[in-house]
Structure 1
Amino acid sequence: MTEIVDRPAAAGPLTGPNWGLTKFLDPLPVPPVLRPPRREQDMITIPMVPKRQRLHSQLPPTALWTYAGHFPGPTIEVRSGRQLRISWSNEITGEFPLVAVAGPVGDAPTSRPGRELDRPGYSIVDGVADLPAWTVVHLHGARTNAGNDGWAHNAGLRGTSQLAEYPNRQQAMPLWYHDHAMAITRFTVHTGLAGMYLIRDDEEDELGLPGGDLELPLILADRNLDTDPETGALTGQLLYKFPYVPNGPMIPFSGPFTLVNGVIWPHLDVPARWYRFRLLNAANERFFTLNLVDEDNVPRNDAVRLIGTDGGLLPAPARLPSGGLTVAPAERFDLLVDFSRFRGRKLKLRNADPRLGGVEPDVMEFRVDSREKPDPFELPEKLSRSYARIKHGSTLPEDHDHVWVALLLNASGHPEMWDLEQIDADPGGKGVIQLKDPAGGLKTFRVVGRVFDDTTGVFLDHGKWAVWNIVHVANGGPAHPFHIHLTEFQALFRRGFTTTFDPVAERTTTAIDGFTEIPLEKYEEGWKDTIIVNPGQWVGVAGQFSGGTGEFMYHCHILDHEDEGMMRPFVVHPPEVAKFHVHPGGGHHHDG
């Protein structure tokens, strides 16, 4: 029997600031937990259905698209090595539950609700309201065959099902599932199609970490809402605002309302003891730099320990960085918080990210019980016994591939992602990147593909390790959370440089040189599948490509960037097959 645990939010009066919504009024809801039945072949069906749900008790219900009637979707829990098959059934009816509006970026439209069509430069984005329920589910972080991975073009309409098989041959780690439909992922995820997926194993169990009601997901997101044109009151209607630069690019969505587990600015009553929080940034674009602060907004991060990342447990607990924990879209973190230090007090999770602008920085509130509570948990000195640090020249196999990717801004200011092919000499013209490798030698590359449907340029042998070199050559612009399907990786290095890339000439004018080593955060040495790449940085990550074969995707996980071209395919195939594969233009393979 599948166990479902559901704790809904409460209601309250319509009072207070922040566009009429009272902060910390509603209790934190916890998505239902779905534990598949223990049979030889675990098989479940999860329907995608429309649902009306209050995002705050002072709001009318919001029309959403959901997994199994919940936003966020149910938290799926599985055991490592136990296969699960899911039939993702598209049963969505009705109109697309989202209004999209474009407005000038200088007018700061993201910080206000309402579509504001009476203001200069604002207009409805044509075609969004007509979108059908066309969906395909990606289990983010899963090692599975490409046919189960949620290939963006393989979305299906209402009345169809996607049958996916997840072997779960992975260590304990937090995955998440979300829609991945080509060109409209930013919209479908925004309607509510996202949820958490936890893999458990014996190594994690033996640590005796806080569990049950003391282990909760914190799924962060941001939204904007429409207003009644006559009263100005919030209607609950999802509003997707595109800021744009005249004669320039659209700016990714960000909204004025921060949600945790589907509720705006909730609170959580906690006993004075240790808690475990499974943190996920499910926002389209918003970065969070999180601090635990007291009533005076003084950071109390000394009570927090970071114990895991996207790909599982760290070798030992780590303290938060001094300025707070920066969480990019799609990143997951496993946190322990000792509330016993704060009996009878209130604490807040607060966003100090400099990209926040004029948006409310508070995320949620914790209300600590004043009574002393016996707590048998003690913070362990060691966590993962199976963890091994990957290093060039020692634990990274000598026989590994290299993949090169450039992140950049084009002449119109729009971000692009190129996969690159190394060549012997500069052929002149556009699409060329050159750099002087600190390890020695001049490297010259030419672009193979710059949008998703260009020629596939990356082919990897199944079971082999690959070092991905992501070089952000833009002079300014946004940081990109870079996600690779199929693998967990470790960061090898982060290097700064001064770029020589000319967006008009679409090439480097001289070879990029003068690299400086930027120390990795301790948690960046953990297993990851998404990593932040800042402008003027070269980030190297190493992962093994096993557990599945076929054609996969890598992309920026800012969903607007992904939909607007920052996504490329790559192929993993058996090495015995690879030697017979004729690649376009005579073929190339990214060998080290």
Structure 2
Amino acid sequence: MSDLTIHPVREAASDRPSGAPSKREAVAGLTPFVDELRIPPVLRPGRKEALRGIDIDQTTTWVRLHSELPPTKVWAYEGHYPGPTIEVRRGRRLRINWHNRLTGGYPVTAAEAKPLPGAPLPTDEPGRANSTPVEGVADLPPWTVTHLHGAVTGGGNDGWSENAVAPGDSQLSEYPNDHRATSWWYHDHAMDITRWNVFAGLAGMYLVRDDEEDMLQLPSGRREIPLVIQDRNLDTDEEGRLTGRLLHKTQVVAQDKDGKNVTLPFTGPYTLVNGVIWPHADVAACWYRFRVLNAANSRTFQLRLVDDATGAPVTGAVWQIGSDGGLLPRPVPVDGPLSVASAERMDLLIDFGRLRGRTLRLVNAAPGVTYPDVMQFRVGTTQVRDPFVLPQVISPSFERLTHGSAPHHEHRLVVLTPPGPVGNFHPEMWEMEEIPDTGLKFPVEGVVQIRGADGKTRTYRRTARMFDDTLNHMVRLGDWEQWSFLNLGGAGTHPMHIHLVDFQVLSRDRYPADGDPNFPYDNKTGGTRVPLEHGGTAPISPGDQGWKDVIQVPPGQMVNVLARFQGATGRFMYHCHLLEHEDMGMMRPFVVMPREVLKFHHHQPGGHGHDAH
């Protein structure tokens, strides 16, 4: 089949730090840093093989997530969790036959837990105590569809959620790979059950290489390491011992009008890197490249490197050189916490040469995290000759877009609503169209008014709120479009993902949000009483100024992104990449068509190409 190789991380034993840490106390029943980081195998299809097509099987297998655990049943690509890292060259087309060979019962137990007064958060505790199983999950069939996240490919190859296949069937997809060097990833995207299918193990990385990246002579081979970061919970037996079984336990916060539980998105006590809970990696005292992927269902990690002995942050050693859509123009120093939301990728360089002989921890520095450890690095004591020098320019071909330089474009507004009676107690994603203010008596359900930075008040009416509502977004092939995501708060930060395209962030505008004393949105009605007032702008972080396909939209911000819809046509989706939100309805379709065809379509795209700031 493919050139299947494994890149080891292990350095010579004699090169390990002399002060290697002694065994630690168990945390949530498991000892951190006793297991070595695993590296997924690498698939590098040759030219003939890529054109003919490669076969990747989804199979049921058993893995050890930690040496102190019994084996865990997972669903995996090619029997590996995470799946193999697929490497391709830019412009070399690849056909993949994704075969569903899954067998047996569903590998995930889903439960919902109510918090108890004075007790720890139920999601921080292993096992199903004080929870009830989610009815029907145990009976789910192995129904899957693979989406290559970030890829520019036709709608028929994109992994449409409703086009999932049953065991014995195959999904045939073709990827042109005509894209700058970048890190994509592939994962399950089955309608309504993505959160559990990905949780079961169906995820892997996909790297595109090109000449511009080659010229940088970045650390490679065993010194280029994927870090697929996830969090999980595990079940326990009647005596409280960990069984290793995957447990998707979420916290109940309310009940909807039908009496069903309303839960928060999943977070769990155990952090896995490449399928290992709290691993360690032995590294040499030189530069390394890490391809970081947050493949967690919903947790946003605030990653920080700290000294293991003192807990003090490490400075001057970590640099970001790429984001979701490829290389950044210049390296960005990472001394503070690096925010990585679900589905975001970060291309990082770490200079372990300046950290020789030290033991380091990668931690999640987000507030309120009970178990912050992610993994440990043990830096060798031997001085290593390393010819790599950090370049001052990473991508000379990169061009930054701004409001002033942006080509003429359509504008679309998407409002992310608070949970409440209108949204059946779940947050919703509303597509909006501008309408004239014809003396409406506010608040009106589905109507939002915004007073932008220019002082003008605009009135928007909801045109869709659920996945199956009428299709409104018809995009002309080759057109530029600005999409504005306005988060009215109440449900935290939404990482918004648009299939097919890379985009750049033009601006972040501040508006009142749920919890603000001046918040003018009436949650019972589902509309604004008075206009949302522009409250200035928020900075765009250096890492967010590159090409992106996922963007964090915090409460009280309108994030404006610009993309060109080129390279493929068909039906695609955009959605919140918190998998629980996506499955609960925060996902909508759009269609890209040739402009010559679209003029004959009965519903033409709106011509509201104004600046809505």
Return the TM-score normalized by structure 2: 0.91
Deviation of 1:501 (Å)? 1.5
* Aligned residue number for residue 60 of structure 2: 50
Cα-to-partner distance string for 1:403-451 (whole Å, 9 max, x where unaligned): 1100011324421111111112265531011101214522211111111
* Aligned residue number for residue 598 of structure 2: 578
* Aligned residue number for residue 373 of structure 2: 362
* Aligned residue number for residue 28 of structure 1: 37
Q: Indicate which of 87, 92, 107 corresponds to 1:97.
A: 107
Q: Indicate which of 505, 508, 531 corresponds to 1:494.
A: 508
Contact 1:207 1:380 in 2 (8 A): yes
Cα-to-partner distance string for 1:251-296 (whole Å, 9 max, x where unaligned): 1111100000000000000000000000000000111001110121
Q: Indicate which of 428, 432, 450 corresponds to 1:416.
A: 428
Contact 2:475 2:605 in 1 (8 A): no
Task: Tell whether 2:81 aligns with 1:71.
Answer: yes
User: Are residues 304 and 386 of structure 1, via their aligned partners in 2, closer, same or farther at CA, if it must alter by over 3 Å?
Assistant: same
* Aligned residue number for residue 345 of structure 2: 332
Q: Indicate which of 15, 27, 39 corresponds to 1:18.
A: 27
Deviation of 1:42 (Å)? 4.7
Amino acid at match of 2:327: L
Contact 2:325 2:548 in 1 (8 A): yes
Contact 1:306 1:334 in 2 (8 A): yes
Contact 1:287 1:355 in 2 (8 A): no
* Aligned residue number for residue 251 of structure 2: 243
Once residues 9 and 101 of structure 2 are traced to their aligned partners in structure 1, the CA distance between those partners, rounded to angstroms, is: 25
Amino acid at match of 1:361: P
| Greater shift in the superposed pair: 362-371 or 245-254 | 245-254
User: Are residues 15 and 267 of structure 1, via their aligned partners in 2, closer, same or farther at CA, if it must alter by over 3 Å?
Assistant: closer
Contact 2:448 2:527 in 1 (8 A): yes
Cα-to-partner distance string for 1:569-590 (whole Å, 9 max, x where unaligned): 111111111111002xx87466
Question: SS at 1:301's partner residue?
Answer: coil
* Aligned residue number for residue 227 of structure 2: 218
* Aligned residue number for residue 135 of structure 1: 144
Once residues 60 and 75 of structure 2 are traced to their aligned partners in structure 1, the CA distance between those partners, rounded to angstroms, is: 4
Once residues 210 and 95 of structure 1 are traced to their aligned partners in structure 2, the CA distance between those partners, rounded to angstroms, is: 42
Task: Tell whether 2:212 aligns with 1:203.
Answer: yes
Question: SS at 1:217's partner residue?
Answer: strand
Task: Tell whether 2:298 aligns with 1:278.
Answer: no
Question: SS at 1:334's partner residue?
Answer: strand
Once residues 473 and 25 of structure 2 are traced to their aligned partners in structure 1, the CA distance between those partners, rounded to angstroms, is: 54
| Greater shift in the superposed pair: 307-316 or 574-583 | 574-583
Cα-to-partner distance string for 1:156-201 (whole Å, 9 max, x where unaligned): 1111100001001100000000000000000000000000000000
* Aligned residue number for residue 16 of structure 2: none
Task: Tell whether 2:546 aligns with 1:526.
Answer: yes
* Aligned residue number for residue 310 of structure 2: 296
* Aligned residue number for residue 259 of structure 2: none
User: Are residues 552 and 590 of structure 1, via their aligned partners in 2, closer, same or farther at CA, if it must alter by over 3 Å?
Assistant: farther
Once residues 51 and 14 of structure 1 are traced to their aligned partners in structure 2, the CA distance between those partners, rounded to angstroms, is: 30
Question: SS at 1:238's partner residue?
Answer: strand
Task: Tell whether 2:126 aligns with 1:126.
Answer: no
Once residues 236 and 367 of structure 2 are traced to their aligned partners in structure 1, the CA distance between those partners, rounded to angstroms, is: 28
Task: Tell whether 2:476 aligns with 1:461.
Answer: yes
Once residues 518 and 562 of structure 1 are traced to their aligned partners in structure 2, the CA distance between those partners, rounded to angstroms, is: 26
| Greater shift in the superposed pair: 277-286 or 456-465 | 456-465
* Aligned residue number for residue 508 of structure 1: 528
Cα-to-partner distance string for 1:367-404 (whole Å, 9 max, x where unaligned): 0000100000000000111100001222x112x11111
Quick one: percent identity of the two aligned structures? 51
Deviation of 1:547 (Å)? 1.2
User: Are residues 420 and 375 of structure 1, via their aligned partners in 2, closer, same or farther at CA, if it must alter by over 3 Å?
Assistant: same
* Aligned residue number for residue 317 of structure 1: 331
* Aligned residue number for residue 448 of structure 2: 433
Cα-to-partner distance string for 1:39-66 (whole Å, 9 max, x where unaligned): 2725101010001000011111100000
Question: SS at 1:285's partner residue?
Answer: coil
Question: SS at 1:555's partner residue?
Answer: strand
Once residues 90 and 259 of structure 1 are traced to their aligned partners in structure 2, the CA distance between those partners, rounded to angstroms, is: 25
Amino acid at match of 2:435: I
* Aligned residue number for residue 480 of structure 1: 494
* Aligned residue number for residue 560 of structure 1: 580
Amino acid at match of 2:324: D
User: Are residues 542 and 62 of structure 1, via their aligned partners in 2, closer, same or farther at CA, if it must alter by over 3 Å?
Assistant: same
Once residues 241 and 283 of structure 1 are traced to their aligned partners in structure 2, the CA distance between those partners, rounded to angstroms, is: 14
Contact 1:465 1:543 in 2 (8 A): yes
Task: Tell whether 2:388 aligns with 1:377.
Answer: yes
Deviation of 1:495 (Å)? 1.4
Amino acid at match of 1:182: M
User: Are residues 196 and 255 of structure 1, via their aligned partners in 2, closer, same or farther at CA, if it must alter by over 3 Å?
Assistant: same
Contact 1:291 1:301 in 2 (8 A): no
Deviation of 1:15 (Å)? 8.3
Contact 1:473 1:500 in 2 (8 A): no
RMSD: 1.8
Cα-to-partner distance string for 1:106-143 (whole Å, 9 max, x where unaligned): 55111010111xx3xx2111000000000011000000
User: Are residues 587 and 36 of structure 1, via their aligned partners in 2, closer, same or farther at CA, if it must alter by over 3 Å?
Assistant: closer
Amino acid at match of 2:364: N
* Aligned residue number for residue 166 of structure 1: 175
Once residues 8 and 433 of structure 1 are traced to their aligned partners in structure 2, the CA distance between those partners, rounded to angstroms, is: 55
Once residues 281 and 566 of structure 1 are traced to their aligned partners in structure 2, the CA distance between those partners, rounded to angstroms, is: 20
Amino acid at match of 2:189: H
Once residues 514 and 460 of structure 1 are traced to their aligned partners in structure 2, the CA distance between those partners, rounded to angstroms, is: 28
Amino acid at match of 1:4: L
Structure 1 residues without counterparts, runs of 5 or longer? none
Once residues 466 and 140 of structure 1 are traced to their aligned partners in structure 2, the CA distance between those partners, rounded to angstroms, is: 20
Once residues 293 and 206 of structure 2 are traced to their aligned partners in structure 1, the CA distance between those partners, rounded to angstroms, is: 11
Amino acid at match of 1:84: L
Question: SS at 1:70's partner residue?
Answer: coil
Once residues 180 and 589 of structure 1 are traced to their aligned partners in structure 2, the CA distance between those partners, rounded to angstroms, is: 32
Contact 1:401 1:460 in 2 (8 A): no
User: Are residues 573 and 298 of structure 1, via their aligned partners in 2, closer, same or farther at CA, if it must alter by over 3 Å?
Assistant: same
Structure 2 residues without counterparts, runs of 5 or longer? 11-21, 257-261, 513-518
Deviation of 1:18 (Å)? 1.1
Question: SS at 1:100's partner residue?
Answer: strand
Q: Indicate which of 253, 260, 281 corresponds to 2:273.
A: 260
Q: How does 1:79-94 map to 2 (within 5 A)?
A: 79-94=89-104
Contact 2:343 2:577 in 1 (8 A): yes
Contact 2:285 2:383 in 1 (8 A): yes
Question: SS at 1:446's partner residue?
Answer: strand
Amino acid at match of 2:6: D
